[in-house]
A and B are shown apart, each in its own frame.
Chain A
Amino acid sequence: SAVISQKPSRDICQRGTSLTIQCQVDSQVTMMFWYRQQPGQSLTLIATANQGSEATYESGFVIDKFPISRPNLTFSTLTVSNMSPEDSSIYLCSVTGTGVYEQYFGPGTRLTVT
């Protein structure tokens, strides 16, 4: 199984600022995803991070708010821009490989916006 690390593990940010979250995997993976888990809620897919090209966003999420980079097969970043208290959530990256049919989740980044 893949070992995934995320930085930071948690942060408290002020309204209107931006935070970039990093996701690092210990092996090359085909697919990387970013999910959001709002307090007490389930997980919602934000976007698929595509290596070398623009991310694919789900309905309700836009690039201006959640820009994503994936420069190689082991690393991705998610930026939460112009934050508001409604962005307070846990942000998780997940990874899988072609034909693997297992999805592994990182430890998450707990974001609080004040």
Chain B
Amino acid sequence: ELKVEQNPLFLSMQEGKNYTIYCNYSTTSDRLYWYRQDPGKSLESLFVLLSNGAVKQEGRLMASLDTKARLSTLHITAAVHDLSATYFCAVENSGGSNYKLTFGKGTLLTVNP
């Protein structure tokens, strides 16, 4: 059974600081997704990482994937208040192209002025 662990679950940052969210998963998978969820809203797709060594960047967020270590990171650079949200990683279950996702518990990020 695929298990996905995120840490930290809660992150309080000051504006301008850098931090990293970690996502570990238990079985082989080549596709990993990062989503953002604002309170009361649905999920917004941030990144899809499709292969080992994949790195994607959008604004102050950068995601990477190491399939051998079964680890993805979401790095936040010079945080701003608008980044406050819950961030989920999700791993596609292996065993064919079934597209089923197993989600981590999410990281609640609060960026303080």
Contacts and interface: CB of A to CB of B under 8 A. Distances in A.
Interface of A: 1, 31, 33, 41-45, 48, 58, 92, 94, 96, 98, 101-108
Contact of A101 (B35, B50, B90): B50
A42 B99 CA distance: 18
B45 A101 contact: no
Interface string B79-106: 0000000001010000001111111111
Contacts of B42: 92, 105-108
A44 to B, nearest CB: 8
Contacts, number: 48
Contacts of A1: 45
Given A42-B106, A103-B45, 13 more contacts: A42-B88, A42-B103, A43-B43, A43-B88, A44-B103, A45-B100, A98-B97, A101-B50, A102-B45, A103-B33, A103-B90, A103-B99, A105-B43
Nearest to A45: B100
B100 A33 contact: yes
Interface residues of B, number: 21
Contacts of B88: 42-43
Contacts of A44: 103
A45 B1 CA distance: 13
Nearest to A44: B103
Contacts of B97: 98
16 contacts: A1-B45, A33-B100, A33-B101, A41-B105, A42-B105, A43-B43, A43-B90, A45-B101, A48-B100, A58-B100, A98-B97, A101-B48, A103-B33, A104-B45, A105-B35, A105-B42
Nearest to B104: A42
Given A92-B42, A106-B42, A107-B42, A43 B103 contact: yes
B99 A31 contact: yes
A101 B100 contact: no
Contacts of A96: 99
